Structure 1
């Protein structure tokens, strides 16, 4: 059965043997996969096996895991990620066999990015789609994109007036990931409230004057003096520390995701391509990946949680001083500012 992204949640009351996720819209692909994982965990699927299909992938590993599932009592989620959407003849046989005789206590989550249209007519694809649930995601345009923005804002407790909604649509130009980030920033700035055009214009004007993304670029590149100077400028211009922290934690989560993909054997170049970063940002992220280790990033996340408590008045401290320590620690990868050593 084929359903749209917006109808996926309604199809998860009773889990299907297979979920096919495919298309060229990375935010919806990621969120659809996250939703399926959460529901599987809630249904007692305690074991999760992940396969990333890169050139030279041995499909017999997945075939063996499928055959072995029946030997164990645990419910399992078998997650297969195909970044380029290309399934080899060997893979087609394995997937067709799964569709013919799906093992018990098993859910197959097959994520196919950039799937060629011809593949949708392949026998293995047709069989899997008939067996389970297929979700095709695609870029949103016109009214669909406006509806996405409005729904996304409502999920954060934000009510965007019509003029503000259209301005945000023009600013993000159909990029769902960028739009989601802008809405997150509005929530950090204003909380759960109504957003009119003037308030949105003010938020955009602030971004043009004191760009928090310049700050993240500086520490990603390891530019210590520039990091310190930009942070001081942000403070002097009256930027909310919560917005600064929001930008920092967004990059920390991105770096951790990229490191995890590296661990799974996905080349950094491929991961950055899916992130849709501009060239200058890609260079900065690559610098940070070479300098900052997983343990350091987790330590930085813990520090961010403590700073968030200070900003919200739940703990005592100097939020700007703590932000400076965190930024300089990330720029230098030295524990003189925070305990970021491995």
Structure 2
């Protein structure tokens, strides 16, 4: 079976999962959302264990059959997720996939994720077998003429009421980058508590220099430039920027870095990890540089500090959020600030 991404919801609502799914496409956000929806439905149906396999380099394709036939100690059903960055399984992989599709097991769901498949791959036997026994979903970039409609729908889902002019301004601002559009919508949710935006407000928000400099601040932190981050943070404070917006931008970077660091510890390839996380090409060097500077343990300490800053902003902890933001930014730069013991003390607050 072949489905469009927008048809998946109806398919999943029938509560009859196919034994295998192939999700392909170069639009990272859409492919990720499709895979997330499949995983969520599978979890509801008892597929509570997930095994991730990276089919690249010297990958042993027999591992797929071994995992499919092995009993789990923790769950009755499991998802075997094959991430195939090359888009082609090769001769050995094709044989394994053909064998699996011929006799899938009831307690295993196979989810394959690939970039956009070329014409030759679409004619291959393993693709035909997946179409016959499972579901193939291809994701495609949103055409420019359809982008305003896509953005309008996402704004509505986020609880934001926007007029036509506001939607068109945002569409022009992101220039087809769906991840950027989602980031702007998340920012709007923080900036517009009443959930309404017109063209003038949208133009102000996306062009506001103080808001834009928040993202510049995050980049300076990833570059590891302590003087620049302190200077930029001071400028943002003088311009009246809200610490909530700054914390949101830094926390977003932290969560991405933690996910990348965890994947690296599991032996994943860095370039694949960054692509899967939707890191823009021009920002990949910054992220790689930061991951070399900060280890996973340190990143998790920083996320804990970010949570403490959030409590301080909300009045749930006695501390100056701006001082703590300075500490967090210096930690991004690799500058010695707080040791783990001191960090625990700094974040302590009365119940």
Q: Same fold (TM over 0.5)?
A: yes
Aligned pair 1:116/2:118, yes or no? yes
Q: Answer yes or no: is the 8 Å Cα contact 1:223–1:331 preserved in 2.
A: yes
Structure 2: give runs of 5+ residues left out of the alignment.
Answer: 344-351
Distance 2:4 2:237 in 1: 44
Q: Is the 8 A contact 2:210 2:239 kept in 1?
A: no
1:325–1:337 contact (8 Å) kept in structure 2: no
Whole-Å separation in 2 of the counterparts to 1:154 and 1:109: 30
Give 1:72 deviation, angstroms.
9.2
CA shift, 1:311, in A, is 2.7
Q: 1:277 aligns with which of 277, 280, 302?
A: 280
Q: Which residue of 1 is the match for residue 347 of structure 2?
A: none
Deviation at 1:267, TM superposition (A): 2.9
| Corresponding residue for residue 252 of structure 1 | 254
Deviations 1:177-228 (A, max 9, x none): 1111111111121135111111111112224775112211121121111111
Local SS of the residue matching 1:78: strand
1:148-201 Cα shifts (integer Å, max 9, x gaps): 211211222111210110111111111111111111111121135111111111
Residues 329 and 337, structure 1, Cα contact 8 Å, conserved in 2: no
Residues in 1 aligned to 2:32 and 2:150: alpha-carbon distance in whole angstroms: 16
Structure-1 separation of matches of 2:275 and 2:30: 16
User: Which residue is 1:11 aligned to?
Assistant: 11
Instruction: Tell me what 2:235 maps to.
Output: 233
Given that 2:173 and 2:206 are in contact with CA atoms closer than 8 Å, whether structure 1 keeps it comes out as: no
C-alpha displacement at 1:321, in angstroms? 2.0
- Which residues in structure 2 correspond to 1:146-295 (within 5 Å)? 146-207=148-209, 211-272=213-274, 275-279=278-282, 281-295=283-297
Q: CA RMSD in A?
A: 2.4
Q: Deviations over 1:279-302 (max 9, x none)?
A: 3x3222122101111112122222
Q: State TM-score, norm by structure 2.
A: 0.89
User: Take 1:126 and 1:191, find their aligned partners in 2: how far apart are those partners?
Assistant: 49
User: Following TM superposition, by how much is the alpha carbon of 1:38 offset from its aligned partner in structure 2, in angstroms?
Assistant: 2.1
Aligned length in residues:
340
1:78 Cα deviation from its structure 2 partner: 0.5
- In structure 2, the partner of 1:20 is 22
Note the C-alpha offset of 1:244.
Answer: 0.8
Please report how far the alpha carbon of residue 314 of structure 1 lies from its aligned counterpart in structure 2 after TM superposition.
Answer: 4.5
Unmatched runs of 5 consecutive residues or more in structure 1? none
The superposition leaves residues 59-103 of structure 1 with CA deviations (integer Å, 9 ceiling, x where unpaired) of: 011122223359997101100001121211111111111111101
Say which SS state the counterpart of residue 169 (structure 1) adopts. helix
CA 262–71 in structure 1, closer or farther in 2 if over 3 Å, else same: closer
Distance in 2 of aligned mates of 1:214 and 1:111: 33
- Decide whether the 8 Å contact of 1:17 with 1:132 is kept in 2: yes
- Structure 1 residue corresponding to 2:134, chosen from 128, 132, 135: 132
Cα 1:207–1:33 change in 2 (3 A) is: farther
Question: Which range moved further: 141-150 or 194-203?
Answer: 141-150
Using the TM superposition, give the Cα deviation of residue 25 of structure 1 relative to its aligned residue in structure 2, in angstroms: 0.5
SS of alignment partner, residue 211 of structure 1: helix
In the alignment, the residues of structure 1 paired with residue 104 and residue 56 of structure 2 have an alpha-carbon distance, to the nearest angstrom, of: 24
Cα deviations by residue, 1:221-266 (Å, 9 ceiling, x for unpaired): 2111111111111111111212111211121122123223323433
Q: Distance in 2 between matches of 1:286 and 1:184?
A: 25
Q: State how far apart, in whole Å, the 2-side matches of 1:163 and 1:258 are.
A: 37
TM-score normalised to the size of structure 1?
A: 0.91
Given that residues 329 and 338 in structure 1 are in contact (C-alpha distance below 8 angstroms), is that contact kept between their aligned partners in structure 2?
no
